[in-house]
Structure 1
Amino acid sequence: MKTPPLPLEKTLHDSFKLDAFRIGQKEIISDTLSGKDVLAVLPTGGGKSLCFQLPAVAEGKLVIVISPLIALMKDQVASLQKKGIPAGALYSGQSDFEKREVFVDIDKGGAYILYLSPERAQKEGFQRWILKRPIALFAIDEAHCVSQWGHDFREEYAQLNILKSIRPDVPILALTASATPTVLADIAKHLQLKTPERHVHGFYRPNLYYQVEFCADDEAKSLMLLEAIKRTPQGRIIVYCGTRKVTESLAGFLQKRFSNVGYYHAGMSNEERTSTQESYARGDLRILVATNAFGMGIDQPNVRLVVHYQMPANIDALYQEMGRAGRDGADSTCLMLYSRKDKGLQGYFISSSEAPQEIKNARWRNLEALVNYSEGGECRHAEILTYYKDAQRIERCGHCDTCIPNSNRRVPVPEIPKSPVSAEMKTTKTRKSSKSKNDVGTLVLDQMQEQRFQLLKAWRKEKAKEIDAPAFVVFSDQTLRHLAVHNPSSLDALKNIHGIGESKLEKYGWDLLAELGHRH
């Protein structure tokens, strides 16, 4: 006779020494325990690991966790063993004895949490081994790696549909810290999930101040970065760059002005990367300049400032990297320095990739959405919640540069001195700063144009609510300003407006003409 499972709260308290579930955790765990496949989006630091650890204890069975990071596996195994929960990991570099010990422990029966790399799940010997095991759950961490629409697609993740083929009776929990509805649908398709339950929670981070500043050139960026660092005397700082070259030159620039500065990118040797990560974890490095190679599995509680010195590829990447700030709940700042040149860099990455055209087109759309977010004029936190279809929605956060532009948390824009500060970086050829007619903030509106702009903003807000999309997916503020200034009176004239292509023209063209008073 099967022993009835313990109430979840009792297991939570007795085995994990926690008093209450975080948002979304209980619902996710309950669905997996009832045998359902689940797609779960919880931000980093939101308690994803409990969602697959607790079912192992509650069911008294094996749970297999697919994770791409050996360091993270080791940390979680050590943490579980301290709590008296049987756990182990299989990864390259282990001795045969260490591997045998894991299998001996599993053979004892009962609860066990086994961590594996996605490559190991492809091995025939492992696949034969899982055929006859009593398994409670397959958990796939960093599940966005499954999807080619995701920001970090990995070929070895694409083969994980083998799990459902071999053991269709075992539920799959796919977990990620950030994924759009499109990415979630793609994950479900590739993993062959059966009508999965979706749980999207925790994208609202009330302790984070979101700020985006348009910078005409590297000089303006360098000054903003220095100002942000000076205003952050305590805690860790991460500065994200788009290329290895800029990462190294910017680190050198900061090392002349601050102590405990390092850098990290995928071009470094394994030993260098490990050493840098460990120095950062110990606190020997306070300021880390890095590409997007740094971050997955990093969980330092006191990151007080995350700066995107160059715009990333899409909102998923931006959100996940910003999310490394303020894990301890204390006030922290997320600052993106945005220039037209950044869009050109990301466009170059897309154009030069070998991805199929369909994937490239999606990446272009994702980049355009990020540009529109940067130029947007609605509450930044509210827009993020709508973009991810979070269960929680807000109208106005009160802690972003749009809601409170004069907040004392906002990093002020410093004046540019006569002697260039950033010349020593030599990341680009020196050139005179020139503003294009499309640059953010260059359009000054007269009274009539301002009235049109506010009318269009109100229309955009209602349209966004109607389609349950963020306002920036409809149009950016910059597009609305151009509409307000040029006041186009025909569909042909709309084609000349910044940010209006064929698709937007078809969706919104007649609406715009009506709002501008040109009814035909």
Structure 2
Amino acid sequence: MSDDLHAALQQHFGFSEFRPGQEDVIRALLQGRNCLAVLPTGQGKSLTYQLPTLLTKQLTVVVSPLIALMIDQVKHLQEANLGAAVALNSELTWDEQQSVLNRLDKWRYLFAAPETLTRPDVVAALQHHGVGLLVVDEAHCISEWGPDFRPAFLQLGHVLQLLQPQRVLALTATASPRVRRDICRRLGLTAANTTVVSRSVDRPNIWLDTCPVTSEKEKDTLLPKLLAAIPGRVIIYFNRKQRANEVAIALTAQGIAVGRYHSGLERDERRSLQHQFREGYIRVVCATNAFGMGIDQPNVRAVIHMAPPTSLEDYLQAIGRAGRDGAPAAAITLLAPGDIPQLQQDAVRGFPPASLIQAYFHRPAQFAKDETPEIALLKRYRAFADASAVTQLLAATQQTRQTSAAQMVHFYTAPDTICRRQLVLNAFDPEPRQVHHTADCCAVTTPTALLQRLTALAWPADAALRVHRPEPVQSVAARLAQLF
């Protein structure tokens, strides 16, 4: 089979060798086994379901959390001539969605959000046609649900029981042992029927840096200097939409090609920003963590956190968007005195108290017009859980968030002599290697030392951003015309 797989790899993708982990995943799927694949960012996770689909010629359903991510994946499959693909989402009218479901034999790949996959009409159509492979992309989302995420991920296990796909593939770039257990439990993946393929999360080409500063004002003063020292594209992460907006405006005023991205923008604005960043029209994105999932931009040279992320999982997901071409990249966190207390406060914020959960489930009609985040969350949970289950689930999630925050606090406040890369590998790798810690690996620096280090980094020769004339984003109508 190995020779056949390599021949298929060369024929369909033009590659002579698999990347680490890819062949193990594909082999397991072709042998009829389910698979949990934890592969580092930039290691070609999509190929692990694309090649089996081409070989089996059966329908593959891909559960994807973001419409923009679905659109990019469909576009790639069409341009690469890897099989007919369609995204079943709100950009299609109801009639167009029904046309897709009535002609499932036309498609090799069907992309859908978890909320779409739970719809009775979608389930019925897929049951009738049959599913060869069901892929849960960004599978860590199954474990990271709660006050600020989508409960539909919790229902995927039930959907799998209804659809009975021949094989299931859960894909993620970051999953601690706890998250891996969560994924398998919620999807019904047992040791007897599931192969786990896990590769090291280490990305040695990314230099890790923590830079303590005295205030938010010093961050704002230092940031343009960092951008001047870093050639090429940069993603800057914030924990508040207002801060992302303010800094984007300030950088634009200094002549930097910058865009902003967060959940408060209209969908077309977010899609346009992704298009401009991908095509090189803008150099810098100021964003919340709503930006980046599925962004496969190979030449991002740096990820800068203007506030600490809520967990090591979030941190690893974010910095993994840098240096996917294997060239030198940097992951920088600017840390002000108030950042750690804010991180700890955010870990417990937004969870409805048990008394509110009981009141809502006892008399939901009284809350019909209540649109607060807590009640909006409980309205979604009520579709599949009772008050007792929701109380337990949210209490467990709150405890997990606090544990994750404590882990993140240790990452940033450990003595300078502690290797941050080793902390990451210890948290995620099943058998973490011992890191040879040097200044080229990670560091805690002053602003002056950070700038000196960035200036001395061996950036790739083509890191300078090419300037393009912007082109309009393809309209929804134009894309639909290509599909139907």
Instruction: Identify whether the pair has TM-score above 0.5, normalized to the shorter chain.
Output: yes
Instruction: Tell me how far 1:134 sits from its aligned partner.
Output: 4.5
Say which SS state the counterpart of residue 65 (structure 1) adopts: strand
Map residues 12-411 of structure 1 onto 2, 5 A cutoff. 12-89=9-86, 90-95=88-93, 99=97, 102=100, 106-107=104-105, 112-148=108-144, 153-168=149-164, 170-195=166-191, 196-232=194-230, 234-354=231-351, 356-376=394-414, 377-390=417-430, 393-396=433-436, 398=438, 400=440, 402=442, 410-411=450-451
CA distance in 2, matches of 1:166, 1:132: 11
* Residues 396-420 of structure 1: per-residue CA shift (max 9 Å, x gap): 25464647979x9943499xxxxxx
3-state SS of 2:220 partner: helix
398 and 413 in structure 1: CA distance in 2 versus 1, 3 angstrom threshold: closer
Report the alpha carbon displacement of residue 145 of structure 1 after superposing the two structures with TM.
1.4
- CA deviation map 1:248-267 (0-9, x unaligned): 12222322334212222211
Partner of 2:380: none
- Deviation per CA, 1:147-166: give whole Å up to 9, x if none: 14799742121111123312
Once the two structures are TM-superposed, the CA of residue 311 in structure 1 deviates from its matched residue by 0.8
SS in 2 for 1:199: strand
1:212 is matched by which residue type in structure 2?
T
Task: Kindly provide the CA deviation profile for residues 365-390 of structure 1, in whole angstroms up to 9, marking residues without a partner as x.
Answer: 11111111112333222322221025
Show CA shifts across 1:75-128 (max 9, x none). Answer: 2223223333322222222256755664576426xx822222212211212222
1:66–1:139 contact (8 Å) kept in structure 2: yes
Relative distance call for 1:243 and 1:207 in structure 2 (3 A) is same
Give 3-state SS (helix, strand or coil) of 1:307's partner.
Answer: strand
Instruction: Find the aligned partners of 2:148 and 2:291 in 1 and give their Cα distance.
Output: 12
Unpaired runs of 5+ residues, structure 1, are 415-520
Cα distance 1:85–1:151, how it changes in 2: closer, same or farther (>3 A)?
farther
Structure 1 CA distance, aligned partners of 2:147 and 2:98?
Answer: 36
Please give the alpha-carbon distance, in whole angstroms, between the structure 1 residues aligned to 2:327 and 2:79.
28
The separation in 2 between residues aligned to 1:409 and 1:41, in whole angstroms, is: 35
Determine helix, strand or coil for the equivalent of 2:331: strand
Query: What is the one-letter code of the residue matched to 1:382?
Result: Q
Secondary structure of the residue aligned to 2:348 is helix
Cα pair distance change 1:304/1:151, threshold 3 Å: farther
Label 1:56 to 1:155 Cα distance change in 2 as closer, same or farther (>3 A). same
> CA offsets per residue over residues 284-318 of structure 1, 9 Å max, x none?
22121111111112122221121101111111111
Q: CA RMSD in A?
A: 2.9
Once residues 75 and 49 of structure 2 are traced to their aligned partners in structure 1, the CA distance between those partners, rounded to angstroms, is: 16
Counterpart contact for 1:396–1:403, Cα < 8 Å: no
Q: What is the CA distance between 1:329 and its match in structure 2? A: 1.4
1:470 matched to which residue of 2? none
* Aligned 8 A contact 1:264 1:273 in 2: yes
Letter in 2 for 1:362: T
Distance in 1 separating the partners of 2:12 and 2:99: 23
The letter for the 2-side match of 1:199 is: V
Moved over 6 A (4+): 149-152, 403-406
More divergent stretch after superposition (12-21 vs 355-364): 355-364
Identical-pair percentage = 32
Report the alpha carbon displacement of residue 216 of structure 1 after superposing the two structures with TM.
2.5
Contact 1:208/1:399 (CA < 8 Å) preserved in 2? no
Is the contact between residue 149 and residue 182 of structure 1 (CA under 8 Å) also seen in structure 2?
A: no
Offset from partner CA, 1:38-65 (integer Å, 9 cap, x none): 2111233221111111111122212111
For the pair shown, the structure with the greater C-alpha radius of gyration is: 1
**Distance in 1, Cα, partners of 2:103 & 2:179:** 37
TM-score, length basis structure 2: 0.77
- Could you tell me which residue of structure 2 aligns to residue 478 of structure 1? none
Q: How many residues align?
A: 407
How far the C-alpha of 1:340 sits from its partner, in A, is 3.4
1:338, 1:321 → 2: CA distance? 16
Equivalent positions of 1:472-491 (< 5 A) are none
Q: 1:261–1:107: structure 2 CA closer, same or farther, 3 Å change rule? A: closer
